[in-house]
């Protein structure tokens, strides 16, 4: 965890993209629902109420997309959460 991306409160362990394909599809397309699963170390000593977010910025520095999860209770240690796109 010491070298993982993050800060003194949270360090990222793993991210997975989980597509929900329509019948017969095998590629992620613009209308394919996906879950993004995060696994992270919560380095804070107490359980915290957190939400997961993704921001997408264009080359001009403008935020063009943002999505967040519902709040989750994150105890100290390894935690997992998902958000839906």
Q: In order along the chain (85 residues), what is the average pLDDT of each group of 10 residues?
A: 93 96 91 95 92 95 95 94 94
Of 54, 52, 76, 77, the closest CA to residue 66 belongs to 54
Say whether pTM exceeds 0.85. Answer: no
- Left, alpha or beta for 72 (phi > 0: left; psi -120 to 50: alpha)? beta
**Which contacts of 14-21 are long-range, i.e. CB under 8 A and separated by 24 or more positions?**
14/38, 14/39, 15/39, 18/82
At 1 the pLDDT is 86
């Amino acid at each position: 965890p010491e070298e993982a991306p993050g800060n003194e409160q949270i360090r990222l362990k793993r991210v997975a993209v989980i597509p929900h394909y329509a019948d017969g599809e095998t590629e992620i397309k613009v209308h394919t629902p996906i879950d993004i699963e995060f696994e992270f170390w919560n380095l804070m000593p107490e359980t915290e109420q957190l939400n997961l977010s993704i921001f997408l910025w264009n080359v001009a520095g403008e935020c063009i997309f943002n999505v967040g999860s519902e709040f989750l209770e994150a105890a100290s240690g390894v935690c997992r959460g998902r958000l839906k796109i």
